[in-house]
Structure 1
Amino acid sequence: MEIQLYQKNKHRILYDADHHAQITEHWFNTDWWQENQAIINEPDGGRGQAFFIKPDKGTELVLRHYRRGGLIARISQDHYLYTGLEQSRPWQEFRLTCQLAEMGLPVPRPVAAHLYRTGIGYQADLLTERLPGARPFSHYLENPDPHLWQATGQTLARFHRAGLNHSDLNANNILVNDSGSVWLIDFDRCQLEKKPDSHQQEWQKSNIERLKRSILKLTGLSVPPANWFSLVNSYEALLKDG
C-alpha cells in the first residue's frame, strides 16, 4: 500500500494510492454518488448503515458514516471531539485494518478514511472494498451444517492469536462469502493486544461471550444452537495450537 494524505479546507483524507491515484472529498458524499448513479443500495436505517457503491472503474466499495450509539446519540449522532488526526476514529480504524491485512488476516481492503472538521469536533467516514457475494453470519444461524460454524471459530482464533481485541464482535460483523470463507469487519475502537499465550485471555473470553449474546438475541433462543459448540471447539483447538 502507498498511503497518502489529501487535505482541502476542512477535509482530511487518508487513502491507499495503490487503489486509486486520487480520492477527494466527493467520494464521501452520497449525493455525489447518487448523481453519478453509482449507489447500488439504500441503507435500511440504524447505526452503522452503509452504502454500496460502484465507481466507474475498479471494485465495488462500502461507504460507512460514523454514528454514535447509546444515550450519547441523543446529544450528537455523528460528531466526535477532535484531539488530532492520529487519535481520530477513522484514522485508527484505517491503520488497524491495514495492519490486519498485512498480517494476512481476512479483512476487507481499506481504501480511505475521511475526517471533516466541525469546530472542536469532527464527522467521519470510512471506505473499504466490498467483499463479493458476502453475507453476514447472522443469515446462517439456522444453518445445520457444522462446517461453517467450525470455519467461523477457526477464523476468530486466527484474529485472537494475532492479538485483535474486537470491541463489537457480533453476528453481523462476521461475513461469509459464496465459497464459505469467513471474514471479519468493523474495527472501530478495536485494538491489538500483546500477543497472547496458549491460555485464553479475559479479553478473548469477553469477545466470544459478546458473540454468543448476539446470537441468542438474533435467534430468540435462551441457549445457543447446537452448532455453537462446533464454533467454540474449533476456536479453542486452533487457539491452543498457537
Structure 2
Amino acid sequence: MSKIHTMIHGAYAFGCRRRLNATSLDLLIDLFESPSTDKTAVLEGRVPPRFAVLPEAGPVVVKAYKRGGLISLINKDRYFKIGRLRSQREFDFLMTAEKAGVRVPVPVAYACTRSPFYKVWLITKQIKDHRSFPGLCRRNPEKAMTFMPEISRNINSLIKNRIHHVDLHPGNILLDGNNTIFIIDFDKAYGYSKSKTQLARAYQNRWARAVHKYKLPERLLALELGP
C-alpha cells in the first residue's frame, strides 16, 4: 500500500495519500464545521456529501460519518478512539479495492478531530457528472440492464480478493458522465475468511433484498457472480 502522509492542522488530524497544503486543509475544516440540513434520497445513504475543489486533487467529495440505531438518539457523530478510525478503515479498503481493479472513488484523505471522542470524515475524488444507478433503473430499465455485466465484473473482483462490501446494493452504484460504473460506501467492508462461494452468495442475497425492498425491476437480479 502507498505511503500515507500524517498531518496535524489545528484541532484536526489527517491521513493523506498526497500532502495537502494549509489552504486545502483550512477549506476542508470549514466544511467539517459547517452544519448540514440537506437530506439524501432513498438508497443514497444517511448523510449528504459535501463538495470542494482542492489544488492537489481537484474536485472532491467530503463524507461525514453518523451513527445509526438507538445510540444516535444520544450520540449522533462521535466515536471513541480504539484501533483504526472508521474513516481510515474505509480509506484503506478503497485503496485495496482500487488496487484489485475495482472501480471506486479515488481516496484522497481521511480526517478526525484530535480528541478521545472524535468525529471523522473521508475525502475522495468527485465522480464527474455522477448519477445514481437506482434512478436510471426506474427511468430506463433497458439501459440499466446493459450495466449489469460490468457491475458483476467489479463484484467478482471483490470476491476474488476476499473483500466483503457488506452493503453492496444498487444504491451504492454510481455512473459518471462517461457511463462508467463506480462502487461506493466501503464503510463496513472487511476481509472475508470463508469460501469465495459463500461470499458470492452473500453479495447476491444483499443485492436481491434491496431490489425487492425498493421495488426495482426484477431483471436487476441477474448478477453473474462466482468464486
Task: Tell me the SS of whatever aligns to 2:101.
Answer: coil
Matches within 5 A, 1:207-218: 207-213=206-212, 216-217=213-214
Q: Structure 2 length normalisation: TM-score?
A: 0.80
Q: Which runs of 5+ in 2 are unaligned?
A: 41-45
Structure 1: which amino acid aligns with 2:166?
S
2-11 or 67-76: bigger deviation: 2-11
Task: From the superposition, tell whether residues 32 and 208 of structure 1 become closer, same or farther in structure 2 (CA, over 3 Å).
Answer: closer
Deviation at 1:169? 2.5
Alpha-carbon distance in structure 2 between the residues aligned to 1:9 and 1:57: 20
Q: Which residue of 2 aligns with 1:130?
A: 126
Check conservation: 1:169, 1:208, Cα contact below 8 A. yes
**Corresponding position of 1:38:** none
Alignment-derived partner of residue 102 in structure 2: 105
- Distance (Å, rounded) in 1 between the aligned partners of 2:145 and 2:154: 14
Question: Aligned pairs, how many?
Answer: 216
RMSD, matched Cα: 2.9
Deviation at 1:58, TM superposition (A): 4.3
Match of 1:13 in 2: 14
Q: Does 1:232 align with 2:226?
A: no
* Contact 1:168–1:210 under 8 Å retained in 2: no
Task: Please give the alpha-carbon distance, in whole angstroms, between the structure 2 residues aligned to 1:32 and 1:69.
Answer: 19
Query: Match for 2:48: what amino acid?
Result: Q
TM score, norm. by length of structure 1? 0.75
Structure 1 residue runs of 5 or longer lacking an equivalent are 35-41
Task: Give the match for residue 73 of structure 1.
Answer: 72
Q: Hey, what's the Cα distance between the residues in 1 that align with 2:27 and 2:210?
A: 33
| Aligned match of 1:30 | 30
| CA apart distance, 1:196 | 4.7
What is the one-letter code of the residue matched to 2:221? V
Distance in 1, matches of 2:140 and 2:32, equals 43
- The residue aligned with 2:117 is 121
